[in-house]
Chains A and B, each alone.
Chain A
């Protein structure tokens, strides 16, 4: 239970096509993350899966059954929203109970599930409070609790952490990871934070302008991106792209990640001047303006002292350089 299949789903708002044919398969118990730039259709795809939006064409199957005409409440899904979306007039407990009451679950069973969920998410101290009396982090945990008590086949998260501050985000991320391990449920998670994507996902789906660019495990995407878009999107700082012609290469574009470039004061492939240096403690990001390659980023592990304006030589690791064709695809 808990598998999802999407077949050639398209969605248009009037003349604007937002999803341009999405095919995707999610197996039971998988944690799948949708990433992509803002406006690429991640939320729309999630809403189509939830049944909050009708697809223009294509099919959505949950556990092998076509749910195109099934209302959201009957699809066996639960959703956590970016803005929490708690019912303002209900207590934490009733917020969690409402969906179950609507489905006609016996009171004792509701009580039992709320107990388990609130213990799991440490919600007990404020179970009788209203959402207005909770902090942002607590509210989001209640929203997650409301999803958990439904015991859905499919959890849908739409950027659940983006309204939280950095420290809380890390904590809640851990909690979601633990939740997934404990419940072994299928989860679909939308984010544009790639740290969240890399740390949580079994499988990442990279979306761009309504199309899937690549599907794969975090390491697959990092090590063998299918195209320039994925290469640039996964990894931080972003991969350096250099015009092939400037380097005398046959490929249209050459890509190398900042962590796969080494610098030396005396000799190397690309001579450049330091434009800016960012010292993060654990590592240092240097921005070099190179004669041959243009502006590139270099990530050095540990502390590296470089003056702005100093001359340095950068050398890309040849084994970890990517070559892209004119269509943006990786050349083998």
Chain B
């Protein structure tokens, strides 16, 4: 922005609004992180104050890490999220390319069928999915979760990506065809780099619900071997006593990996939001 288009009152106004919004959005997160560093008495005595030397306590973290399996739960969550994300992006982009690029019979019907998944929550099919997993012996494996999450993420990915793929210049694809590039090369080398910002958008939207999900890990993979972080954290939610220190510490730790993935995608994401506005 040039200095000529900047005006001080408007800048202050805009920043005030944005800062207020940021504060509201971050408040719960900060509360969780803050309290995770406090002793039990500190948490209940003054939940809204930051840890003081008197209330500072790492008991939550030591409990979580001392639990031993927690690193393993993290690993499980990460494997499931990254693998599902990879398959959603790969298959989503390929399906979107086919739907937007090729004219074939049933193209529109296929697109509608695939988009249907956006409106029907996959959890409605839980019983059938469970039966399927039992029949195929996939219960208590990470594969089961990856398959389900891939299916869950695909509809929205295909829907968003095919819109973006339609905008990729057909002249460019045709130039590739005349130069003898295969359809795969055209897809991977010409089209994918151009829709990368929208891929990042899809990645973020897909990743967060998978990381946070409790439902399918609980039903399909509750074994000690395959527990994810969200499921693992339930450990501390007792029927009579709840170990708040440990829960808050586990939740704080669970934020980290998503945060890292988000930072990786966010540079692309910002380009995705502004692309088209600035050519």
Interface residues of A (CB under 8 A from B): 47, 50, 52, 71-74, 77-79, 81-89, 98-99, 102-103, 146
Residue of A47, A50, A77, A102 touching B181 (CB-CB under 8 A): A102
The 6 closest A-B pairs by CB, nearest first: A73-B180, A99-B179, A102-B180, A85-B171, A81-B171, A85-B175
Interface flags, B150-181, vs A, CB<8A=1, else 0: 00000000000000000001011011111111
**Measured CA separation A289–B181 after assembly (Å):** 59
Q: Does B130 contact A (CB under 8 A)?
A: no
Q: Name which residue of chain A comes closest to B194, CB basis.
A: A88
Which of A83, A84, A98 is close to B179, meaning CB atoms less than 8 Å apart? A98
In the complex, whether B190 has a CB less than 8 A from a CB of chain A is yes
Known pairs A83-B169, A88-B193; A52 contacts B174 (CB<8 A): yes
List the B side residues contacting A86 at CB < 8 Å: 172, 175
Contact partner of A87 (CB less than 8 A), chosen from B172, B174, B177, B180, is B172
What residues of A have a CB within 8 angstroms of the CB of B169 in the complex?
83, 85
Decide yes or no: A79 and B180 within 8 Å by CB, A87-B190, A88-B193 being known contacts. Answer: no
Contact B194 A73 (CB under 8 A): no
Q: Is the beta-carbon distance between A99 and B180 smaller than 8 angstroms? A: yes
**With A71-B177, A73-B177, A81-B175 given, can you name 6 additional A-B contacts, CB distance below 8 Å?**
A73-B180, A78-B178, A86-B172, A87-B176, A88-B193, A102-B179
B190: min CB distance to chain A, Å: 7
The 27 sampled A-B contact pairs (Cβ below 8 Å) are A52-B174, A52-B177, A52-B178, A72-B174, A72-B177, A72-B178, A72-B180, A74-B180, A79-B174, A81-B171, A81-B174, A81-B175, A82-B171, A83-B169, A83-B171, A84-B171, A85-B172, A85-B174, A87-B175, A87-B176, A88-B193, A88-B194, A89-B189, A102-B180, A102-B181, A146-B175, A146-B179
Return chain B residues, CB-CB under 8 Å to A47: 174
The closest CB in chain B to the CB of A50 belongs to B178
Taking Cβ atoms with an 8 Å cutoff, the residues of B that contact A are 169, 171-172, 174-181, 189-190, 193-194
A88 partner residues in chain B, CB cutoff 8 A: 193-194
Minimum CB–CB distance for B175 against chain A, Å: 4
Contact of A99 among B171, B178, B190, B193 (CB under 8 A): B178
- Name the residue on A nearest B174 (C-beta): A52
Alpha-carbon distance A47/B171, docked complex (angstroms) = 11
Q: How far is the CB of A119 from chain B (nearest CB, A)?
A: 22
> CB-CB < 8 A to B175: which residues of A?
79, 81, 85-87, 146
Report the separation of the CA atoms of residues A52 and B170 in the bound assembly, to the nearest whole angstrom. 11
**For the complex, what is the distance from the CA of A78 to the CA of B179, rounded to whole Å?**
8
Q: Which residues of B contact A146 (CB under 8 A)?
A: 175, 179
Q: Complex: how many Å from CA A84 to CA B180?
A: 17
CB distance from A107 to the nearest CB of B (A): 17
- Smallest CB–CB gap between A139 and chain B, Å? 12
**Complex: how many Å from CA A50 to CA B176?**
12
CA distance A47 to B181 in the complex (A): 17
CB distance from B174 to the nearest CB of A (A): 5
Complex CA distance for A81 and B172, rounded to whole angstroms: 9
B178 lies within 8 A of A77 (CB): yes
Among B169, B171, B172, B190, the one with the most A-chain Cβ atoms within 10 Å of its Cβ is B171
Give chain A residues whose Cβ lies under 8 Å from the Cβ of B178: 50, 52, 72-73, 77-79, 99
